[in-house]
Structure 1
Amino acid sequence: MKQFAYVDDGTHVHTVPLAQAATANGGARLIWIHLDQKDPATETFLSEQLRLNDVVVGALTALETRPRCDPMGEGALINLRGLSLQDEPGADELVSIRIWTGRGCVVSVARYTMRALPELCDAFKAGKVKDPGDFVSMLAHLITGHLDPDVADLGDQLDECELMLDASKTFALRRAIATARARAIEYRRFVAPQRQALERLSELQCDWLEPDDRLHLTESADRFARMAEELESIRERAALMHEQITDLRAEMIDTRALLISIVALVFLPLTFLTGLLGMNVNGIPFAHEPWAFWGVVGVCAAMAGAIFAWFMRAHWFR
Structure 2
Amino acid sequence: MDEKELEAESRELLPEDPAPDCPQDTPQLFARVLDGVGAGRPLSWEEAQAWQPGEEKEVLWMHLCRNQAGVDEFLLSLNIPEPTRELLVSDRTRPRAFREGDTLVATLRGINFNPGAQPEDMLSMQLWCDGKRLITLRRMPLQTPRRVLQMIDRREAGPTDAGALITELAEAMITRMNRSIVDMNQHIDRLEEMEDDGNAEKMLDEIAIIRRNCLGLKRHMGPMHEALEAISRYAPPWFEDHDRREIAESIDRLRRYLEDLDISKESAVVLMDDIRASSIARNEQATYLLTIVAGIFLPLGFITGLLGINVGGMPGVNDGDAFWVVVGLCCAILAVQLVLFWKWKWL
TM over 0.5: yes
Number of residue pairs matched? Answer: 316
What is the rounded CA distance, in whole Å, between the counterparts of 1:91 and 1:280 in structure 2? Answer: 71
What displacement does 1:42 show? 3.0
Does the 8 Å contact 1:129/1:135 carry over to 2?
Answer: yes
SS of structure 2 residue aligned to 1:203:
helix
**Measured at CA, do residues 21 and 10 of structure 1 come closer, stay the same or move farther in structure 2, by a change above 3 Å?**
same
| 1:116-147 deviations in Å (ceiling 9; x for gaps) | 22211212334522221111111122123322
What is the rounded CA distance, in whole Å, between the counterparts of 1:252 and 1:38 in structure 2? Answer: 57
What is the rounded CA distance, in whole Å, between the counterparts of 2:228 and 2:79 in structure 1? Answer: 26
Q: Which residue pairs with 2:8 in the alignment? A: none
Q: Which residue pairs with 2:83 in the alignment? A: 55
What is the rounded CA distance, in whole Å, between the counterparts of 1:172 and 1:41 in structure 2? Answer: 50
- 1:173 paired with 2:198, answer no
| 1:187-218 deviations in Å (ceiling 9; x for gaps) | 11222222232222123352321232222111
Q: 2:279 aligns with which of 243, 249, 263?
A: 249
Moved more, 110-119 or 15-24: 15-24
Letter in 2 for 1:37: R
Q: Which residue pairs with 1:201 in the alignment? A: 231
SS of structure 1 residue aligned to 2:234:
coil
| 1:241-263 deviations in Å (ceiling 9; x for gaps) | 22232222222222222122111
Runs of 5+ consecutive residues of structure 2 not aligned to the other structure? 1-16, 23-27
- 1:288 paired with 2:318, answer yes
Does the 8 Å contact 2:131/2:239 carry over to 1?
Answer: no
- 1:97 paired with 2:125, answer yes
TM-score by length of 1: 0.89
Q: Which residue pairs with 1:8 in the alignment? A: 33
TM-score by length of 2: 0.82
Runs of 5+ consecutive residues of structure 1 not aligned to the other structure? none
**Measured at CA, do residues 313 and 40 of structure 1 come closer, stay the same or move farther in structure 2, by a change above 3 Å?**
farther
Does the 8 Å contact 1:167/1:249 carry over to 2?
Answer: no
Q: Which residue pairs with 2:92 in the alignment? A: 64
What displacement does 1:53 show? 1.2
What is the rounded CA distance, in whole Å, between the counterparts of 1:285 and 1:184 in structure 2? Answer: 74
What displacement does 1:50 show? 3.3
What displacement does 1:63 show? 1.3
Moved more, 11-20 or 264-273: 11-20
Does the 8 Å contact 1:4/1:16 carry over to 2?
Answer: no
Does the 8 Å contact 2:134/2:162 carry over to 1?
Answer: yes
Letter in 2 for 1:56: T
What is the rounded CA distance, in whole Å, between the counterparts of 1:153 and 1:293 in structure 2? Answer: 69
| 1:48-89 deviations in Å (ceiling 9; x for gaps) | x33321121121122131222111221111121222231378
Structure 1 vs Structure 2: percent identity of aligned residues?
26
Does the 8 Å contact 1:120/1:139 carry over to 2?
Answer: yes
Q: Which residue pairs with 1:81 in the alignment? A: 109
Supply the RMSD in Å over aligned alpha carbons: 2.4
**Measured at CA, do residues 247 and 39 of structure 1 come closer, stay the same or move farther in structure 2, by a change above 3 Å?**
same
What is the rounded CA distance, in whole Å, between the counterparts of 1:205 and 1:36 in structure 2? Answer: 25
Letter in 2 for 1:6: A
**Measured at CA, do residues 100 and 225 of structure 1 come closer, stay the same or move farther in structure 2, by a change above 3 Å?**
same
| 1:104-123 deviations in Å (ceiling 9; x for gaps) | 11111112122322211212
Q: 1:27 aligns with which of 50, 54, 62?
A: 54
**Measured at CA, do residues 244 and 40 of structure 1 come closer, stay the same or move farther in structure 2, by a change above 3 Å?**
farther
Q: Which residue pairs with 2:330 in the alignment? A: 300
**Measured at CA, do residues 173 and 14 of structure 1 come closer, stay the same or move farther in structure 2, by a change above 3 Å?**
same
Q: Which residue pairs with 1:277 in the alignment? A: 307
SS of structure 1 residue aligned to 2:106:
strand
What displacement does 1:14 show? 3.5
What displacement does 1:311 show? 1.9
